[in-house]
Amino acid sequence: MRLLVTAGPTRERLDPVRFLSNRSSGRMGYALAAAAVEAGWEVILVSGPVSLMPPLGLFRFESVESASQMAETVKSLAPQCDAVIMAAAVADYRPARVSVQKIKKHPGDLVLQLERTEDILAALGAAKPAGQILIGFAAETEELLTHAREKLLRKNLDWICANTVESGFDTPTNAVTLLGREGQVISLATAPKPELAREILKILFPRY
Ligand code: CTP
């Protein structure tokens, strides 16, 4: 069993000293990778910038910075994997222009133009090999299950792990509801992320 997991935020550069990013700590993705290593699986972890040590025993570790680097790495490795879990908080927008020189301040406001990044998970869903299991995350501040179900269908996923931003973002514990494409709805109570990761893998992969 070969599993690819993504984790952490991405950073989208503005200039040599500044970037746009988010509060993702990477802990959920790292915990899922560690739980899969415990089961003896071949685990590839693709990580944005985080302050965590990669779990021991990984098959492969790839460190990336931006959404486009994550897209390139994941799209090249995913076709050889039995399952992919996109736990990374990938930026949806990046600065339309990256300044080579540090941006100097001027009187008045600065308006930044942002452009969309590629939706990696949607691309994987559109090109999913037969038999591959594709899992996404949804972190929402409102209408959790409605938004999560919409992402499950739109991105052609097998499962989506829905959590509120409050319970799961940059925290040591999480509570998730797993939505399956066959209509399954399974809620897991608040637990430390390493424990929750094992519970999630047990449900998504009955042979775990
Ligand atoms: N994702 C991705 N590529 C992106 C953005 C997100 O692969 N450019 C993945 C994440 O890893 C996660 C899921 O898609 O598994 C989150 O779905 P998304 O629709 O992007 O949710 P948000 O980023 O929260 O965006 P929004 O709620 O604004 O639609």
**In a domain? residue 104:** no
Rounded mean pLDDT, 64-80: 98
**In a domain? residue 124:** yes
**In a domain? residue 105:** no
Q: Which amino acid residue places its CA nearest to atom 21 of ligand 1?
A: 138
Q: Would you say the CB of residue 164 lies under 6 angstroms from ligand 1?
A: no
CB–CB of 81/135 below 8 Å?
no
What percent of the chain has pLDDT above 90?
A: 94
**In a domain? residue 39:** yes
**In a domain? residue 103:** no
Q: What are 148-184's pLDDT values in tens digits?
A: 999 999 999 999 999 998 888 889 999 999 999 999 9
**In a domain? residue 82:** yes
Q: Which amino acid residue places its CA nearest to atom 9 of ligand 1?
A: 121
Q: Would you say the CB of residue 137 lies under 6 angstroms from ligand 1?
A: yes
Number of the ligand 1 atom closest to the C-alpha atom of 117 = 8
The CATH number linked to 7 is: 3.40.50.10300
Q: Would you say the CB of residue 120 lies under 6 angstroms from ligand 1?
A: yes
| Phi (first) and psi of residue 27, to 5 degrees | -65, -35
Q: What is the pTM of this model?
A: 0.97
Q: Give the domain extent around 9.
A: 2-98+113-204
Cα distances (angstroms) measured from residue 66 to each of 25, 48, 82, 103, 129: 15, 7, 25, 20, 25
How many domains are there within the chain? 1
Q: Would you say the CB of residue 169 lies under 6 angstroms from ligand 1?
A: no
SS3 190: strand
The 3-class secondary structure across 43-63, one letter per residue, is EEEEECCCCCCCCCCCCEEEE
**In a domain? residue 145:** yes
Active-site residue flag, 174: no
Q: What are 16-51's pLDDT values in tens digits?
A: 999 999 999 999 999 999 999 999 999 999 999 999
pLDDT of residue 82: 98
pLDDT of residue 168: 82
CA distance 96 to 21: 15
